[in-house]
A and B are shown apart, each in its own frame.
Chain A
Amino acid sequence: MGFKALGLDCFPAEDSAEAGKILRTLTRESDEEYAIIYIEETFAEQLKGEINKFKDSPSPAIILIPGREGSTGQGLQALKAAVERAVGTNILGD
Chain B
Amino acid sequence: MAGTTIIPTRMVLNQLKGRLRTARRGHKLLKDKRDELMRQFMDVVKLNKQLRTRVEEGLTEAFASLQVASSIMSPEMLEQALLYPRQSVELDMKFKNIMSVNVPVYSFTTKNNDPTEIYPYGFAQTSGELDDALEHMAKVFEDMLELAQVEKTMQLLAEEIEKTRRRVNALEYVMIPDLESNIKYITMKLEENENATKVRLLKVKEMVLQEAHNYK
A24, CB-defined interface residue at 8 Å: no
Interface-side segment among B1-9, B10-18, B144-152, B208-216: B144-152
Contacting pair A7 B110 (CB below 8 A)? yes
Encode A10-53 as 1/0 by CB contact (under 8 A) with B. 00000000000000000000000001101000000000000000
Q: In chain A, what residue has the closest Cβ to B70?
A: A1
Contacting pair B85 A7 (CB below 8 A)? yes
Assembled-state Cα–Cα distance A68/B60 (Å):
7
B207, CB-defined interface residue at 8 Å: no
18 residue pairs of the A-B complex, CB under 8 angstroms, read A2-B62, A2-B134, A2-B137, A3-B137, A4-B82, A5-B87, A5-B119, A5-B137, A6-B89, A6-B118, A8-B89, A56-B159, A58-B95, A61-B104, A68-B63, A70-B60, A82-B45, A86-B165
Which residues in B have their C-beta under 8 angstroms from that of A2? 62, 66, 82, 133-134, 137
Assembled-state Cα–Cα distance A25/B3 (Å):
50
A contacts, CB < 8 Å to B: 1-8, 35-36, 38, 55-56, 58-59, 61, 63, 65-68, 70-71, 75-76, 78-79, 82-83, 85-88, 92
Picked from B48, B88, B106, B120, the residue with its CB within 8 Å of the CB of A35 is B106
Contacting pair A58 B152 (CB below 8 A)? yes
Assembled-state Cα–Cα distance A87/B138 (Å):
36
Which residues in B have their C-beta under 8 angstroms from that of A8? 89, 141
- Majority SS at the chain A contact face: mixed
Contacting pair B59 A5 (CB below 8 A)? no
Assembled-state Cα–Cα distance A59/B94 (Å):
11
Contacting pair A68 B104 (CB below 8 A)? no
- We find that the number of chain B residues with CB closer than 8 angstroms to chain A is 55
Picked from A63, A66, A86, the residue with its CB within 8 Å of the CB of B38 is A86
Interface-side segment among B19-27, B49-57, B178-186, B195-203: B49-57
Other A-B contacts than A7-B85, A56-B159, 20 sampled, CB-CB below 8 A, are A2-B62, A5-B86, A6-B85, A6-B87, A6-B118, A7-B110, A7-B111, A36-B91, A55-B155, A55-B159, A61-B104, A61-B151, A65-B55, A67-B63, A70-B60, A75-B52, A78-B151, A79-B154, A86-B41, A86-B162
